[in-house]
Amino acid sequence: MRGSIHAKVFALIAVVAIALIIGLASFFTGRYVDATHRELDERLRIYSQLAAHELVPVLEFDDRQTLREIMASLGADEEVAAIAVYRDDGTLVGSRGELGAPDTKRIAALIHGHSTKGTVVIEMSTALVDAEIANANRGTLLVTALALALALTGAWLVGRHLAVRLGSLASMASKVVANATMESDTPFTDESSDEIGRLSGSFNTMVGRLLAAQSREIELLLENVTEGFVIVDAKGNMGAHHSAVMDRWFGSVEKGMPLWRLFAEHDPNAAAYLELGWEALFDGFLPPEVALDQFPKRLKHGESIFELVIQPIKGENGDVTSALVVLTDVTAAIRRAEVDATRGDVLALCERALADKSAVVDFVMEGDSILRVILEAERLIEMKRAVHTLKGVAGQIGAVNIAACCETIEDGMVVSETGKPRSQDVATLTTRWQALTAHLRTLFDRTSGEVYVERVDLDQLLGRVEAHAPHAELARQTKLLRLEPMQVRLDRQKQAADALAKRLGKDIEITGSAGRLRSDPAVWAPFWNAFTHVVRNAVDHGIEPVEKRLKRGKPARAKIRIDIVRSSSCVMIGATDDGGGIDWFKVAKKAVLHGLPAETPADLESALFFDGLSTCDDVNDVSGRGIGMGAIRAVTESMGGTVAIESRTGHGTTVRFTIPVTALGDAYTDISPRAVAA
């Protein structure tokens, strides 16, 4: 109340009223008192004059009887307190009452006779007058008090009235300032036509316009934004406002609807995780960043895919009370990325084809058969190896997105409880493969009818024909031409190893020769596909980083040699590196971890081939999953061959494949060592 309009108005009116009322009261009381006194004085004067006149005979003739009558007559007025008549010489002629009493008014009048003089003294009591005046005063006081009370009450009420109206206006204004909203169900109305009424009318109009402008702007924002924005409370229910695009995506989105209901029909799994995740976000057990990471990042609705971002909102006391949910339609972006990915691979393969067309053709054909294994394999381990191999060959030839697809499948298999990949990952691979090869098939004549023949070999055959060489020899030479020079495959392996080494920042010299050996590509394709794992392992794990090599006193430049030689009965493929060798202690440790025997060197060598055993602690996209060795051994054994590993810690590793020479192709059957050209 202090300092408010109420106090000020009250004070103003009170002061004025008090001044006025008290002034008036004093004024009128004063006048009444004067009048009353004057009346008494007047009466006294008249009495004295009358008495003076009447008393003349009393003094002249000493008429005591008349004196008595006059005194009685005067005395009839109750207010006459005393009368006294004196002769000129001061003698008392007669008196009535007590002279000199208090509270009296006195008057003396001269009595003029013919021969005598005298004085009459009349004293009138002021008691009555005083009593009357006192009464009047009391009355005035009462009235004054009443008037004051009324005035003050009135002042208070008027002040309050004004203060209340102004106060409502003020608090409405500060509410608007604070919240920029006006509760539309209690508009501020002041109907009167005084200044305050006009002010409140204008205020309403101003605020209405302001809010309309603001909300129109917000409406425009929500109407045109392309992302889905909505605020969701702690229970998961959506707020009243959301971007218009959400209605177009999901049908009607209503306030109070739980967020996950938008996805319940088309993506029930994601919807369930949304609900569970929301509970976790708000129950305060896990830190918010952990709870947020558990949410599905992508959700499906019909043909569209949405990305979900959740932004917690803190309330006034610092607790999280709601969250902003942002949905982005990434369907087009994903499709574009797919197209780009495939296009990238197509580009890489085309570049490769300029240098080595047959490599790309082989890749497409072999990839087709590997994919068939992936889709139809009965045993999980076959599928695992096929995926790993496809990843290797795709990486080798530069189809990085196919390789990435395979990586995703492998990751999924690791995490999955059953070891099976997620069907959507396999579907993605299939789709991507078909997209990629569709492009390539239009560029290449994909007949398996091409054979790669070197001019020098053809010339040599022609020479033998023209020299009328024996039929058996000519038959054999011709058969040989149907086989592919192993050097071609070897060169590819070397090239891929080179590229990988550069990618990993390692300086490696890669050499090797296949002599003039030839092999049936159909039979050997699976071998070479799996061989990529051996090469990748050597480059990635076998060769140590430069600092380590130098510390060991080795040259900074590492060496990998891949040689293919044949004896009369076998062909031997050896891959040797001068790296750090196999860490047999680590192998032993991992073997024990997987429950394998680890006593003898033979045990450890076996363990190396066990699927899933890797001496690496980290899996990268090149190797480390422990699948490669098992794959190559399986292929080798299916060709009737064997694998052996020699390794010296600190010095290097050699992997040796011994395969019957008949696996090279039918040109190598029934021949004597002498007649063999290579």
CA 281, 287, 290, 293 torsion-angle sign? positive
Beta carbon of residue 335, minimum distance to another protein (angstroms, whole number):
23
Query: 184 Cβ partners below 8 Å, 6+ apart?
Result: none
Beta carbon of residue 603, minimum distance to another protein (angstroms, whole number):
19
Beta carbon of residue 272, minimum distance to another protein (angstroms, whole number):
3
Beta carbon of residue 314, minimum distance to another protein (angstroms, whole number):
17
Residue 78 makes contact with another protein by CB under 8 A: no
Beta carbon of residue 589, minimum distance to another protein (angstroms, whole number):
11
How many Å apart are CA 23 and CA 151, to the nearest integer? 14
Closest by CA position to 279, among listed 305, 260, 253: 260
- Quick one: which of 416, 448, 567, 649 contacts another protein (CB under 8 A)? 416
CA 136, 137, 138, 144 torsion-angle sign? positive
Residue 286 makes contact with another protein by CB under 8 A: yes
Beta carbon of residue 615, minimum distance to another protein (angstroms, whole number):
14
Q: Which residues pair with 660 in a beta bridge?
A: 570
Closest by CA position to 36, among listed 161, 103, 170, 130: 130
3 state SS of 298 = strand
Residue 593 makes contact with another protein by CB under 8 A: yes
User: What tokens were used for 391?
Assistant: 């990843």
Residue 469 makes contact with another protein by CB under 8 A: no
Strands (E), 479-623: 484-485, 508-511, 518-519, 558-566, 570-577
Q: Which long-range contacts (CB under 8 A, 24 or more apart) does 319-323 make?
A: 320/234, 320/281, 320/282, 320/288, 321/233, 321/234, 322/231, 322/232, 322/233, 322/234, 322/239, 323/231, 323/232, 323/281
How many Å apart are CA 655 and CA 311, to the nearest integer? 54
Closest by CA position to 633, among listed 615, 609, 613, 654: 609
| Binding range to another protein, per CB under 8 A, among 265-273, 556-564, 572-580, 644-652 | 265-273
Residue 285 makes contact with another protein by CB under 8 A: yes
Residue 427 makes contact with another protein by CB under 8 A: no
Beta carbon of residue 417, minimum distance to another protein (angstroms, whole number):
5
Residue 537, CB half-sphere, CA atoms under 13 Å: how many? 29
Cβ closest to another protein, residue 50 vs residue 264? 264
Closest by CA position to 649, among listed 568, 584, 597: 584
How many Å apart are CA 560 and CA 654, to the nearest integer? 10
Residue 677 makes contact with another protein by CB under 8 A: no
Beta carbon of residue 296, minimum distance to another protein (angstroms, whole number):
8
Cβ closest to another protein, residue 224 vs residue 269? 269
- Quick one: which of 60, 79, 411, 646 contacts another protein (CB under 8 A)? 411
How many Å apart are CA 104 and CA 124, to the nearest integer? 5
| Binding range to another protein, per CB under 8 A, among 152-160, 289-297, 527-535, 634-642 | 289-297
Alpha helices per DSSP H over 180-191: none
Beta carbon of residue 385, minimum distance to another protein (angstroms, whole number):
19
Beta carbon of residue 633, minimum distance to another protein (angstroms, whole number):
23
> 566: how many CB neighbours lie within 10 A of its CB?
20
Rg for the chain, CA atoms, rounded? 62
The answer to whether 130 touches 105, Cβ cutoff 8 Å, is no
Residue 141 makes contact with another protein by CB under 8 A: no
Q: Which residues pair with 232 in a beta bridge?
A: 238, 323
The number of helices, as runs of H, and strands, as runs of E, in the chain is 21, 16
- Quick one: which of 18, 272, 570, 616 contacts another protein (CB under 8 A)? 272
Q: Is 608 exposed, middle or buried (0-12, 13-18, 19+ CB in 10 A)?
A: buried
Cβ closest to another protein, residue 424 vs residue 638? 424
| Binding range to another protein, per CB under 8 A, among 17-25, 72-80, 97-105, 414-422 | 414-422
Residue 265 makes contact with another protein by CB under 8 A: no
Count of residues that interact with another protein, criterion CB under 8 A: 20
Cβ closest to another protein, residue 346 vs residue 627? 627
Q: Which of residues 514-573 bind another protein (CB under 8 A)?
A: none
Cβ closest to another protein, residue 250 vs residue 273? 273
| Binding range to another protein, per CB under 8 A, among 3-11, 40-48, 281-289, 306-314 | 281-289
Residue 300, CB half-sphere, CA atoms under 13 Å: how many? 7
| Binding range to another protein, per CB under 8 A, among 273-281, 345-353, 365-373, 575-583 | 273-281
- Quick one: which of 251, 287, 470, 601 contacts another protein (CB under 8 A)? 287
- Quick one: which of 153, 171, 214, 294 contacts another protein (CB under 8 A)? 294
- Quick one: which of 89, 191, 195, 289 contacts another protein (CB under 8 A)? 289
Beta carbon of residue 287, minimum distance to another protein (angstroms, whole number):
4
| Binding range to another protein, per CB under 8 A, among 110-118, 230-238, 320-328, 410-418 | 410-418
Residue 451 makes contact with another protein by CB under 8 A: no
Query: 253 Cβ partners below 8 Å, 6+ apart?
Result: 230, 238, 242, 246, 247, 262
Name the site residues for another protein (rule: CB under 8 A): 269, 272-273, 276, 280, 285-287, 289-290, 293-294, 411, 414-417, 593-594, 617
